[in-house]
């Protein structure tokens, strides 16, 4: 058994002995890392395979109200790792299910299959090819139909942003105006902002300017392609605890009819080859409604930021 599979089995066995995941197991699993083979990735894949082999297991997870595990077995990772405490509990439930389901021999077989499956997915590039405005993913224009059903969105006027359990929404200020939405995702954050454009796609011309802007600030930046499509991967100088540090930051964008949706995603793992599925869901399922910005800008002004409507709470 190779080292990654052995570590994954050791994590399950540790849970079986102690009835709880140790901090060492949580750290060694590297849960939430999807761009390479890790013990955590194998355990998630093994749980998915177990649910496929035994539909009763998937039913049990659904009936128990364990929404995270239900999402895992349907390949939907949007709610994973919103914050450290929730993440630890969620992963513990996943390992508990696997521990209860699999004997030692069964687990060996599941982990072997999981390694083959995950290696095939990584080699295929399926996790890194662009998935924006491709018929299944947006961002969407409010006048486009049909859009995927079942996505609950929060209304910020020009921006309709998907609701994500555990995420927190904050206003993005531009002077005295609110010009975007910041979604806090634990130790990461995604800001969303709409720009009205006079004609044609503009993201191809905006990206080189973003690269130069970051470099002029003393940071580093380069263009790349990921699940978000063409993007800028940067390390931007910020002041933290009185010291200047370089913040890993992904600058993403997508052209729509008369608009550009820009996202800025920052945090320790912001530059991983495989994009954060929560951030991808938020960005590609956002709806842009320029009718809510009528009167704000003049079409002859070039690329202009659009104010969002922040809901009042009574």
- What pLDDT shows up at residue 151? 85
Query: What token pair was written down for 76?
Result: 């939907």
Q: Kindly report, residue by residue over 204-232, the tens digit of the pLDDT.
A: 999 999 999 999 999 999 999 998 999 99
Percent of the chain clearing pLDDT 70 (strictly above)? 86
* CB contact set of 76 (below 8 Å; sequence gap of 6+): 277
pLDDT in tens, 41-74: 899 888 888 888 888 877 776 666 555 555 544 4
Q: What is the mean pLDDT of the chain?
A: 85
Most confident by average pLDDT, 236-245, 293-302, 305-314: 236-245
Q: How far apart are CA 255 and CA 38, in angstroms?
A: 35
- Any idea how long the chain is? 314
**Of 273, 11, 1, whose CA–CA distance to 115 is shortest?**
1
Q: Which residue has the higher pLDDT, 80 or 151?
A: 151
CA–CA dist 148, 162 (Å, integer):
12
- Which run of H or of E encompasses 182? strand 177-185
Residue among 291, 79, 70, 264 nearest 185 (CA): 79
Residue-wise pLDDT tens digits, 187-199: 899 999 999 998 8
Summarised one tens digit per residue, pLDDT across range 135-163 is 888 999 999 877 777 788 999 999 999 98
Mean pLDDT on 1-28:
92
């Amino acid at each position: 058994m190779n080292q990654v599979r052995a570590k994954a089995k050791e994590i399950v066995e540790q849970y079986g002995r102690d009835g709880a995941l140790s901090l060492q197991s949580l750290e060694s699993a590297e849960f939430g890392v999807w761009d390479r083979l890790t013990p955590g990735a194998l355990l998630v894949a093994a749980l998915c395979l177990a649910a496929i082999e035994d539909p009763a297991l998937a039913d049990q997870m659904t009936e128990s109200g364990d929404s995270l595990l239900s999402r895992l077995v349907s390949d939907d990772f949007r709610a994973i790792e919103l914050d450290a405490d929730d993440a630890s509990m969620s992963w513990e439930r996943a390992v508990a299910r696997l521990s209860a389901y699999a004997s030692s021999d069964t687990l060996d077989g599941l982990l072997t299959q999981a390694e083959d499956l995950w290696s095939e997915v990584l080699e295929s590039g399926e996790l890194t090819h662009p998935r924006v405005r491709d018929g299944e993913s947006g961002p969407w224009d409010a006048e486009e139909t049909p859009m995927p059903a079942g996505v609950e969105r929060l209304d910020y006027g020009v921006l309709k942003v998907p609701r994500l359990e555990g995420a927190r929404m904050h206003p993005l200020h531009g002077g005295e105006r609110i010009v975007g939405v910041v979604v806090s995702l634990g130790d990461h954050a995604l800001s969303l902002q709409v720009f009205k454009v006079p004609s044609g796609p503009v993201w191809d011309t905006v990206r080189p300017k973003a690269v130069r802007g970051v470099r002029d600030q003393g940071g580093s930046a380069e263009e790349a392609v990921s699940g978000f499509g063409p993007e800028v991967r940067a390390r931007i100088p910020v002041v933290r605890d009185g010291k200047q540090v370089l913040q890993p930051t992904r600058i993403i964008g997508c052209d729509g009819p008369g608009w550009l949706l820009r996202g800025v995603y920052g945090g320790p793992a912001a530059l991983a080859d495989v994009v954060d599925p929560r951030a991808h869901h938020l960005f590609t399922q956002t709806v842009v409604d320029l009718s809510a910005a009528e009167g704000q800008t003049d079409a002859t002004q070039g690329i202009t930021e659009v104010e969002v409507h922040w809901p009042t709470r009574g």
